[in-house]
Amino acid sequence: MATPTESDKRLLQVIVTLTEDSQGRPPTLAEIAMAIGYPSSSRGNVQRQLTRLRPTYVDWMDGPRSLRVTPSGLALLSIKPLEENIDLPLPEAILCLLASGLTYLTNDIAEGKPLHVPFSQAWQRGVNILTAECLLRDVDPPMHLHAALAWCRRPLGEWPVHFRIPPMWLNEALLDKDDQPTSLCREYALTKCDAELETCQNTMLKVLSEAKKNRAPHAYVAFRQFLIEHPVVTDDELMKCSFDAQIGTLGSYLTDLYERVPTLVVEQGKVLLCGFCGWTLQRSHGRLHCGDDRCRILTGDFIHCVIRELRTAPEHLQRVRRAIRRYVVAPGIYEIKTAQCLDTLGITAELWPGYDAYDIRIVFPDRTVWAVDVKDWRFPHLLASHLTPLECHGNLTWDRALYVIPNQRVQEMPGYLDILRNATSEQAFSILTINDLIEEARRYKEQCHA
Ligand SMILES: [Zn+2]
């Protein structure tokens, strides 16, 4: 890019000053505009100027308040970060970029593609910033892809640089022993962008828009429910369902979301299915593996939860794609079970109303409506920014909005709900466990009849 002008330098200086003034919290565009003396409405101009300076002198992530002046930007302002910043933690944004990049890389590995440049933009930027920050601290940066991947396999607490992150993550790595992204990695990637999610979302978005075009909300619900309840099917079942009257024209998308079951998973003529999500189990190093490690925890190493066995030959079997298992089936199990639970209590629970505006719409006998979204994340700190107000208009209006978390997640981490509630305290929704939701709904219904 061209040499920065005096106006560019002034802009960078304003960002540095505002960040320092608020103890390291980066400013918003409106705050910058006002500090320069423009009306806050001129943040578009500020953004254009910043875009020109990115990524050499300034950089940011998708979320608000992630703007930061880079080491080159600081050098331009003759601020010498070297001495005093040597022990300062690195910005968390680097981890989001690396995590997002890793989901693309591991996807390519799974599809058998060779690894070569150009890598995804997120990976490249993550590694570039990491390298710059390492050099600034006199630490040897990872010099090539395999060195960077080796860092990603180590717990964050063992990296030669440290990050501004909650201490409980220091024992977590970004890649697991099988070179699959860990929960930490996936949840970081979700705050940025995720290759798996992108592929999966594209097809699901097509299904959604086709359902809207046909004004067929029930077809959309039937489609989604089929995926969740049939993670592994025979060719015949899949064929039959793709012509199912309830699913209608959406049926043609169904086959895109399934893949042939690989022969690798067959053991003594049988295909073993996960006791939690129902996907195929594969043995490696003597241990069974599902799509990710969550199922191992929920099923006590696939012992406590009954494993199903299929004797159908794999050449007649299809399974949902890995991304669908992760992003539709696994969370969907909680959504469907919660709705079924409410149903047995005699409470009306509609799944994915308004083309998936939220997960469950509960309607009580007095016509009070609760809108519920289920969130199954391991790390509440990363989930917090994804809790936004639930849609409330037309047929979707509600009297109470709730985010609910699977009980086990809350039991696994002390203070899980407190962390979420503190981070979203000004928002108009409650946060409960799924069990507490069902209990509160049961009590509310009794009150209606009292
Ligand atoms: Zn599973």
Rounded mean pLDDT, 367-393: 92
Q: Are 330 and 321 in contact (CB under 8 A)?
A: no
User: How far, in Å, is the centroid of ligand 1 from the Cα of 249?
Assistant: 29
Please tell me the distance between residue 427's alpha carbon and the centre of ligand 1 in angstroms: 34
- Are 388 and 399 spatial neighbours (Cβ–Cβ below 8 Å)? no
Q: Output the CA–CA distances (angstroms, integers) from residue 259 to 313, 314, 399, in the order listed.
A: 14, 11, 42
More reliable by pLDDT, 3 or 350: 350
Distance in Å, CA 139 to ligand 1 centroid: 40
The rounded Å distance from CA 324 to ligand 1 centre is 12
Q: Ligand 1 centroid vs 433 CA: distance in angstroms?
A: 22
Distance 272 CA to ligand 1 centre (A): 11
pLDDT (tens digit per residue) in 39-94? 767 788 888 889 889 888 888 876 677 888 887 888 888 765 544 445 677 778 88
* ∠ Cα 90 94 98 (to 5°): 140
What is the Å distance from ligand 1's center to 51 Cα? 43
Locus of tokens 């939690």: 276
Give distance in angstroms: CA of 290 to centre of ligand 1: 5
Identify the weakest region by mean pLDDT among 34-38, 48-52, 157-161, 423-427: 34-38
334 CA → ligand 1 middle, Å: 13
Q: Which residues contact 78 (CB under 8 A, 6 or more apart)?
A: none
**Residues around the ion ligand 1 (C-beta < 5 A):** 274, 276-277, 279, 290, 295
What is the pLDDT, as a whole number, of residue 309?
A: 84
Mean pLDDT across the chain, nearest whole number? 87
316 CA distance to ligand 1 middle (Å)? 21
Position 84 scores a pLDDT of: 45
Q: Identify the pLDDT of residue 303.
A: 79
Spatial separation of the C-alpha atoms in residues 334 and 435, rounded to whole Å: 11
Average pLDDT, stretch 98-112?
A: 82
Please tell me which residue, 287 or 118, carries the higher pLDDT value: 287
Q: Which residues contact 219 (CB under 8 A, 6 or more apart)?
A: 211, 246, 247, 248, 249, 250
Cα(183) to centroid(ligand 1), Å: 14
pLDDT at 346 over 90: yes
pLDDT-based confidence at residue 192 (cuts at 50, 70, 90): low
Q: What domains are defined for the chain?
A: 6-81 (1.10.10.10), 93-193 (no CATH), 215-326 (no CATH), 345-449 (3.40.1350)
Q: How many residues in the chain?
A: 450
Distance between Cα 83 and ligand 1 center (Å):
49
Residue 117 has what pLDDT?
67
What predicted TM-score, i.e. pTM, was given to this entire model?
Answer: 0.67
Instruction: Tell me the CA–centroid distance for residue 61 and ligand 1, in Å.
Output: 32
Q: What separation in Å is there between the alpha carbon of 287 and the centre of ligand 1?
A: 14
Would you state the structure tokens that stand for residue 10, as one six-digit string?
């002034």
Query: Distance, CA 295 to ligand 1 centroid (Å)?
Result: 4
CA of 152 to the centre of ligand 1 (A): 24
Cα 293 to averaged position of ligand 1 atoms, centre (Å):
8
How far away, in angstroms, is 278 Cα from ligand 1 center? 6
